[in-house]
Structure 1
Amino acid sequence: MTQALTKQVTFDEFIARYPENSQRRYELHDGVIVEMAPPTGEHEQIVGFLVGEIVTEYKRLKLPYFIPKTAFIKPNQSEAAYSPDVLLLNNSNLENEPVWKKESTVSQAASIPLVIEVVSTNWRDDYFTKAGKYEEVGIPEYWIVDYLGLGGRRFIGNPKKPTISIYQLIEGEYQVRQFRGNDRIHSLAFPELNLTAEQIFRAGEVA
C-alpha cells in the first residue's frame, strides 16, 4: 500500500524536503506526499527487463534517449510529482525544461517519449490518477504493466488476467490497446520492438 502524509505541500516544498539517497520512494499527489510501497522482487525483475529491452532498442536506433535513475514528472498547474518505474527522456529537449538541471524534473511532452508503470497494490493510482495526468501533460505513450491482474475489472475485464495496457495519445486523448499472453506489443515509440506480453510477465519469474 501507499501511505499518504496528509499535510498539504507545494511542489517546491516537496522537492526541497526530498531526502537524498533515500531507500524509500515518495511522490506528490495533489499536494499530499505519498510514500510508495517497497517493490517486490518480481516487480523489480520486470522493471529491469523492460529497461534493458528499451535501452537496447534506442541504442540500436541511435536515438537521443536515456532512462534516469530518479526523476519526476510534474503536470502543469498541479502540485504533483510522479516518479515512474520507467521514464524515458529525450535529451534533445531537456534544455527547454525550466527546472531539469536543478530539480531533475520534467513537465513537457517533448521530453517524455514513454512512461511505464508496473502495477503493485496501488493500482488505482496507475489507472485513474496517472493516466489522467500523463494525458494532460501530453505524454505520447504510457504503458501499464499489470503482471498480477490487480486492476479493476472496468480496466482489464472479467475474469481478471495479467494485462499490458498501452495508452497512446491520439488527437489529444489517450486511446488504449491491451495485450495478453502471446500478443505482440505494439508501441508507437518503438514500432520494431519484438516483445510479447508473456515475455514481459515471465521476466518476473525466478530462473
Structure 2
Amino acid sequence: MVQVLQKLLTFAEFADWKPDGGRYELHNGVIVEMSQPLGPHEDIIGFIARKITVEFDRLNLPYSIPKQALVKPPKSESGYVPDILLLNRTNLVNEPLWQKQSTVTQAASIPLIIEVVSTNWRDDYLTKLRDYEEISIPEYWIIDYLGLGGIRYIGSPKQPTISIYLLIDGEYQVTQFRNDEKIISPAFTDLNLTAQQIFKAGNI
C-alpha cells in the first residue's frame, strides 16, 4: 500500500482523478495505491465470489458483484474498493453517486462486504471495520488466510481465521471460524462452506 499524493482531497476530487487502470482508495483524504495482491489472495476472492454468485442466482436475488465500485462512508472523505462487494441492485436508484461514480453509500445497497487480508491488515480490522459499521452494512467478513492480524483480533497463537461481523443493535458483533468449522452467514444461510475450504482455495 503506497500513499500517492500528500494533498488531502475530497471524495469528489478523488472520484474525478481516479484512473481506469490501477487500484486506488481514498483514506481520509489521502489517495492510496493498493499493492498488487498475491496469487493465493486472488484465488480466494475468485472462489468465494463464485460460490456466492451461485447462491444468489439460485435464490433469484437481485444481487451483483462489481469489479471496481467504491464504498463511501457518509462522514469521511474516504472511498474503498472491497475485495468482494455484494450489491443489492434494487436500491441503486436511491444512490446519488452510482450513475456517474459507481459509488454506494447506503446499507440498503450493500448486503455483504468481504475483505481478504493482506499485509495492510490494520485497514481491514480497524479503519474499514469502523467505517462499514458506521454505514450499517449488515455483514462484513474478514478472511485472514495467513493469520496476519493482531493477536487482539485473531488470538494467540495466530492462525488462519475468518471473522464474520454482524450488525446487531447498531454495533458489530463478531463470530470466528477456523479449520473445519462451517461458515454461518445470515446473508446466505444455505452456503455450505468451511473455513478450511476457503483457505485451501489459495493453495495450488
Normalising by the smaller structure, the TM-score range is over 0.9
SS at match of 1:93: helix
Q: How does 1:43-62 map to 2 (within 5 A)?
A: 43-62=41-60
Q: Deviations over 1:87-135 (max 9, x none)?
A: 0000110000001011000000000000000000000000000000000
Q: Deviations over 1:127-181 (max 9, x none)?
A: 0000000000000000000000000000000000000000000000000000000
SS at match of 2:86: strand
- Unaligned 5+ residue runs, structure 1? none
Q: How many residues align?
A: 203
- Give the superposition deviation at 1:77: 2.0
Give the letter for the 2:85 counterpart: L
2:108 equivalent to 1:110: yes
2:10 equivalent to 1:10: yes
SS at match of 1:7: coil
Q: Distance in 2 between matches of 1:35 and 1:83?
A: 11
Q: Distance in 1 between matches of 2:164 and 2:7?
A: 34
- TM-score, with normalisation over the residues of structure 1? 0.97
- Runs of 4+ aligned structure 1 residues displaced above 6 Å come to none
Q: Distance in 1 between matches of 2:97 and 2:12?
A: 11
Match of 1:73 among 46, 71, 74: 71
CA RMSD of aligned residues (A): 0.5
2:90 equivalent to 1:123: no
Q: Distance in 2 between matches of 1:119 and 1:89?
A: 21
SS at match of 1:8: coil
Match of 2:155 among 147, 154, 157: 157
Q: Deviations over 1:22-51 (max 9, x none)?
A: 0x2110000000111101100000000000
- TM-score, with normalisation over the residues of structure 2? 0.99
Q: Distance in 1 between matches of 2:191 and 2:75?
A: 35
2:189 equivalent to 1:194: no
2:31 equivalent to 1:33: yes
- Hey, what does 1:144 align to over in structure 2? 142
SS at match of 2:7: strand
Q: Distance in 1 between matches of 2:140 and 2:70?
A: 15
- Unaligned 5+ residue runs, structure 2? none
